[in-house]
């Protein structure tokens, strides 16, 4: 189906805001609110130019921005099509996958690939400031929205703070922080995140059902209970599905 141009844009010709940015904002708003669905074809450049009395260059400038942000895909000779809606995560405070995915209208769940009590390697030991005789509990899983893999993640928990967690069936409740709070009295108080772009390696691409060398975002997170690190997590996020926001 094609979106009617009369329903699409809200343009103020007297505004100081450039028209191409108004087009971008209008289409983004329609996509975010679900008024334009995944796979839907936008009206043609010619129709937009005719209906809104704007130049082709202005329309193309707007569509180029939307394509660079991964919201649409332009196919030569066919038009512009809406891609899967983005998942917005606010990174100002602790982001919770389960809640963020549910707010996006998707059904969140996680598939555990590996879990267990282990001796940490040097990198993890240094990150978590552990002693030589300390153990960790590791959870390696893929996190889904509906049936689409979104995040490949490895969580390292300080075992001294979660002793006995191996007896809990984590498949029964993917809200890990609820389990940590209820069973172990652990509630994240503060932490740090490092976020940087990356290219997916073979393993990450396999589990995220993407191609090796596709772009993603890598997140490393450390969380504290009092002054002690209880969690160190490494996540690889699909770069085509997430938009991060920060309040300041």
CB atoms within 10 A of CB 208: 22
Q: What is the pLDDT of residue 172?
A: 52
What predicted TM-score, i.e. pTM, was given to this entire model? 0.71
Confidence of residue 7 (pLDDT cuts 50, 70, 90): low
Alpha-carbon 79 to chain mean position: 27
> And the tokens for 11?
């343009």
Q: Which residues pair with 80 in a beta bridge?
A: 74
Per-range mean pLDDT, top range of 33-42, 45-54, 117-126: 117-126
Report, as an integer, the average pLDDT of 137-149: 93
Instruction: Answer yes or no: are the C-beta atoms of 87 and 243 closer than 8 Å.
Output: yes
44-64 pLDDT tens trace? 999 989 888 899 999 999 999
Q: Is 30 left (phi over 0), alpha (psi -120 to 50) or beta?
A: alpha
H or E element, residue 88? strand 87-90
Alpha-carbon 117 to chain mean position: 28
CA 137 – CA 116 distance, rounded (Å): 6
Report, as an integer, the average pLDDT of 212-220: 93
Name the phi and psi angles at 52, rounded to 5.
Answer: -115, 5
CA 231 – CA 221 distance, rounded (Å): 8
Tell me if residue 109 falls in helix, strand or coil. strand
Helices (H), the chain: 19-32, 45-52, 56-68, 97-103, 122-128, 176-184, 202-208
Confidence of residue 174 (pLDDT cuts 50, 70, 90): low
CA 23 – CA 63 distance, rounded (Å): 8
Q: What is the pLDDT of residue 173?
A: 46
């Amino acid at each position: 189906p094609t979106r009617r141009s009369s329903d699409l844009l809200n343009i103020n010709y007297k505004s100081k805001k450039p028209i191409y940015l108004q087009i971008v904002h209008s289409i983004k708003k329609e996509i975010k609110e679900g008024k334009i669905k995944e796979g839907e074809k936008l009206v043609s450049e010619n129709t937009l130019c005719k209906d809104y009395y704007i130049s082709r260059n202005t329309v193309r400038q707007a569509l180029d921005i939307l394509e660079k942000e991964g919201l649409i895909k332009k196919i030569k000779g066919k038009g512009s099509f809406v891609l899967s809606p983005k998942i917005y995560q606010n990174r100002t405070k602790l982001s919770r996958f389960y809640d963020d995915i549910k707010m996006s209208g998707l059904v969140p769940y996680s598939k555990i690939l590996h879990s267990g009590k282990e001796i940490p390697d040097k990198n993890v030991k240094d990150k978590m400031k552990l002693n030589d005789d300390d153990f960790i509990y590791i959870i390696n899983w893929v996190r889904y929205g509906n049936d689409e893999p979104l995040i490949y993640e490895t969580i390292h928990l300080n075992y001294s703070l979660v002793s006995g967690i191996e007896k809990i069936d984590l498949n029964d409740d993917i809200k890990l922080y609820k389990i940590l709070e209820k069973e172990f009295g652990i509630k994240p108080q503060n932490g740090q995140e490092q976020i940087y772009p990356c290219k997916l390696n073979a393993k990450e691409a396999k589990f995220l059902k993407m191609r090796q060398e596709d772009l993603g975002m890598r997140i490393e997170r450390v969380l504290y209970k009092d002054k002690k690190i209880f969690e160190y997590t490494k996540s690889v996020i699909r770069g085509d599905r997430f938009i991060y926001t920060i309040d300041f």
